[in-house]
Amino acid sequence: MKNVLSVAGSDSGGGAGIQADLKTMCALGVYGMTAITAVTAQNTQAVYEVQEIDVSAVAAQISAVFADIRVDAVKTGMVSNAPVIRAVRDSLLRFGARNVVVDPVMVSKSGYPLLRREAVGVMHELVAIADVVTPNIPEAELLAGFPIRDEDDLRRAAEKIASSGAKSVLIKGGHRFGSDVADVLLTAGRFVRIEGERLDAAHTHGTGCTLSAAIACRLALGDSAEEAARAAKAYVTQAIRDAYALGHGTGPVGHLAALYRRAGVGTGE
């Protein structure tokens, strides 16, 4: 069994953050562990409040895991302020963390800011130690410092982000217009398009968290960055097809739908 650590925020609605990561890890056959950076009060409609966890407690959670358990991969998600970003980076460097996937979470799907504005520049310090960094297009624009209007801009942004030190950069294509939702991966000095299908789906809460967690799982299991990105894209696409119409807003993707089907359990209300 491979062991994967998620360093991220808690979603009380269960569709994103730590909860999505753990469900993804279960679905992909690894053992999931957590270091919680923030507690959010949210549901399928909105984020209502965020309580950041004290930086010393974040560092202590990471230390407790590494001191006792072999960690085969790490995924970072919501790290909302500069002290926490630096504490996470320093902890991962101190323990020689492998297969580090950085999801530079900045804004919730409902539009709530999850990264303090003054910490955007500091995010580069965490990106610098990533084996794979997974921004969406708005996040890539902030990290690169210029707007992305076309494929050339997207590739330039990936190169700019990689210049921070990240080994591989995956810019997610969900914010593209039209039918093209291909992700673009810069790895080993070359660009790879990870093709996908734009689904007419109402329930997509947690897709970014799920993708980055899936990549971490696949890296822990021995995949290359490209293999992990392709497998993660396929998993998320199926999870969107299996999305759960929960609550009155944007419901979560179906992280565990395949296991539920195997067990003869439905997800209908």
Q: Determine the average pLDDT of the residues in 114-133.
A: 88
Bridging pattern class, strands 3-11 and 31-42: parallel
Q: What order of strands is seen across the sheet that includes strand 31-42?
A: 47-52, 31-42, 3-11, 73-76, 100-102, 132-133, 168-171, 183-187, 190-194
Rounded CA separation 154/264 (Å): 43
Could you report the per-residue pLDDT of 6-65, keeping only the tens digit for each? Answer: 999 999 999 999 999 999 999 999 999 999 999 999 999 999 999 999 999 999 999 999
Percentage of the chain surpassing pLDDT 90?
Answer: 78
Could you report the per-residue pLDDT of 86-110, keeping only the tens digit for each? Answer: 999 999 999 999 999 999 988 766 6
Tokens for 154, please give them: 């997207």
Question: Per the confidence metrics, is the pTM higher than 0.85?
Answer: yes
Question: What is the set of domains in the chain, with CATH numbers?
Answer: 3-263 (3.40.1190.20)
Residue 151 has pLDDT above 80, yes or no: yes
The catalytic residue positions are 172, 204, 206-209
Indicate left, alpha or beta for 75 from its phi (over 0: left) and psi (-120 to 50: alpha): beta
Rounded CA separation 78/104 (Å): 7
Residue 111 has pLDDT above 70, yes or no: no
Give strand pairing partners of 188. Answer: none
Could you report the per-residue pLDDT of 154-163, keeping only the tens digit for each? Answer: 999 999 999 9
H or E element: which one contains 166?
Answer: none
Q: How confident is the model at residue 213 (pLDDT cuts 50, 70, 90)?
A: very high
Q: How crowded is residue 61: how many other Cβ atoms within 10 Å of its Cβ?
A: 19
Q: Determine the average pLDDT of the residues in 255-264.
A: 89
